[in-house]
Chains A and B, each alone.
Chain A
Amino acid sequence: MGAGADVPDLTKGHVRMPAKRVAKRKSEAAAPAVRGPHAERTAAMRKRLIEAGIECLTEFGYGATTLQVVTDKAGASRGAILHHFPNKVDLMIAIAEYAAGKQNRHVARLLADTEPGMDRFLKLTMATWEAMQQPAAIALLELMVASRSDEELGARFPAVIEALENQQREDVWEVAQTVGITDRAEVETMSWLHTAAMRGLVIELMFSKDRRKASAAMALLRRYKGWITGEMVTKSF
C-alpha cells in the first residue's frame, strides 16, 4: 500500500527491524537527527497503528481485530499502542475518522482535473466507486456493521459516519446545482441510492472477485444516473 510512503524517513528504521525491541534500541543509537521532533514521531506512530488497524479490519474482520493483533501488524510495542489508544474502541474511532477523511480526499483527488458542471456531476459516481473499493472504505463498512453489536462503538461511531455522509451530501448538492438541478431531496435520494448500490457491489466483489461483473453493474448504474439526472434537469426548467 502506498499509504506508508508519506512518512518514509520516520518509520523506515522500524519497518526494517524484525524485533521491535531491537528496532527501538537501534533507532536510539542512530543519530538523533534521524528521529525527528517528538511530535512528528508520535504522529507517525499513530498513523502507522491506524493503517495497521485498517489492514487488520479488512483481513480479519472486526471481531478478530484485537489491539494485540494490530500491535503485531504494526510492529509496534504494547506501550506505544496503549499510549495512543487505551482500548479497542478508541482505535476503531480513530480508524473511522482517518478512513472517512481518506475516502473524501480520494474522491476529491480524482475529481480535481474535471471541470465543474455535468462532467463532474456524472464523474462523481465513478470516483466514489473507486474510493469505496479501497481498504479504508472496507474498514468503514466493517465498523458500520460491527457498531450494531458493540455497544461502546455503537455510541461513538455514528457521529463519525454522519459527518462523512453530510460532507458527501454537501459535495453532491454543490455539484448538482451547477448542472441546474433544483430539487435537493431528489438528488440526495439518488446519491444515497448510489452509495448503497456501491456498498452492495463492494460486498459482492469481496465474494466473487469478479471485477468484470462489477464494472458491468457500475456501467448500468452510470446509465441509470444519466436517466434520473436528465429527468431532474428537465423538471427544473
Chain B
Amino acid sequence: MKTRRLAPAKSARTVATKAKAKRKVLRGSYAIIGPATRSKILDAALKCVLKYGYQGTTTLLVQRMAGVSRGSFLNQFPTKADLMVALSESIIKERSQAYIDTYRGVTDYRRRFELMMDIMWDQFKRPGGLVRLEITVAAISDPELKKRFEPQNAAMDEELREQTWLAAIQIGISDRTALDHVVTQSMASLRGLAIDLLYPRPGCDTEAAFVLIKKTHMEAVDRLVKAGRAKRSA
C-alpha cells in the first residue's frame, strides 16, 4: 500500500477518508472489520518500532502508517502500552508456532535442545524478535508497560520451560532445577547477544558467539543426561 510511507498529516487524513468511502461498499460485519484493522495496525507498529525504536514510536505515527482513522485506532488501542502489549503478544504467538513447526516429527529429543537454540536465535534475528527486545528494555523503566508486559513474559517463559522439561524427561534428565538454570543461562545469553544485533558494531562477531552459546548449552544438557543416568543406576 502506498500509505506505508510516512505521510504528512493532511494526506494521511485524505487516505483515511478514502478508505472510509471504500469501506462503505465493502463493509462486512463488525467482527470482520475489527480484526482486519487490528492486524493492519499491528503490522504498522512492528515496522515503526523496528525503524524508529520504541521511544520514537508514537500512536499517531503508527496510525498514519497503518492508514486507519484515529477513531478506529483508539477503538482498538486506547494507549501506547495497549498497542505494545498486543504487538508483543502477536510476536509470541508467531514464535510458539515456529517451535511447533520445527519440532514436528523430531523424535530425537536431544536434537530438540539444539533446535531450541536455533529457533530462539532465529527469532531474535527476525523483526519480531528485535521489536520484542525493544519493548522489553522499554518496560524496565515504564511502570505502566511493565505491569502488563511482565505477566505475559512470565507466561511465555513458563511455557518454554515446561516444553523443555518434557523433552528433557525423554532423554533421561532428572534434575529440573538444574535444567531450569541451563535454560535461564542460555536465554539470557541469547537475549544479551540480540542487543548486539540491534546495535551492531565492529569487532563483534555475533554468529561466532552464538555457536559458542549453543556448544556450551549442549554440553550442559549432556552433563545433565549423564547425571540423570548415574542417579538412576545408583
The answer to whether A199 touches B140 (Cβ under 8 A) is no
Tell me which of B141, B181, B195, B201 contacts A216 (CB under 8 A): B181
Residues of A within 8 A of B52 (CB): 149
Residues of B within 8 A of A204 (CB): 184, 187-188, 191
The answer to whether B188 touches A217 (Cβ under 8 A) is yes
The answer to whether B192 touches A203 (Cβ under 8 A) is yes
Given A149-B53, A196-B193, A200-B190, A162 contacting B209 (CB threshold 8 A): no
Residues of B within 8 A of A198 (CB): 188, 192
Interface residues of A (CB under 8 A from B): 57-64, 141-142, 144-150, 158, 161-162, 165-166, 169, 185, 188-190, 192-193, 195-201, 203-204, 206-207, 213-214, 216-217, 219-221, 223-224, 227-228
The answer to whether A203 touches B140 (Cβ under 8 A) is yes
What is the CA–CA distance of A30 and B27 in the complex, to the nearest angstrom?
76
The answer to whether B192 touches A189 (Cβ under 8 A) is no
The answer to whether B199 touches A207 (Cβ under 8 A) is no
Q: Determine chain B's interface SS by DSSP, over half rule.
A: helix
The answer to whether A200 touches B188 (Cβ under 8 A) is yes
The answer to whether B216 touches A200 (Cβ under 8 A) is no
Tell me which of B56, B189, B190, B216 contacts A228 (CB under 8 A): B216
B55 part of interface (Cβ distance < 8 Å): yes
What is the CA–CA distance of A151 and B118 in the complex, to the nearest angstrom?
33
What is the CA–CA distance of A185 and B195 in the complex, to the nearest angstrom?
21
Given A142-B137, A189-B205, A203-B140, A224 contacting B220 (CB threshold 8 A): yes
The answer to whether B182 touches A149 (Cβ under 8 A) is no
Given A203-B136, A217-B184, A149 contacting B141 (CB threshold 8 A): no
The answer to whether A197 touches B141 (Cβ under 8 A) is no
Least Cβ distance of B106 to chain A in Å? 25
Tell me which of B54, B137, B185, B220 contacts A197 (CB under 8 A): B185
What is the CA–CA distance of A185 and B208 in the complex, to the nearest angstrom?
10
Least Cβ distance of B129 to chain A in Å? 13
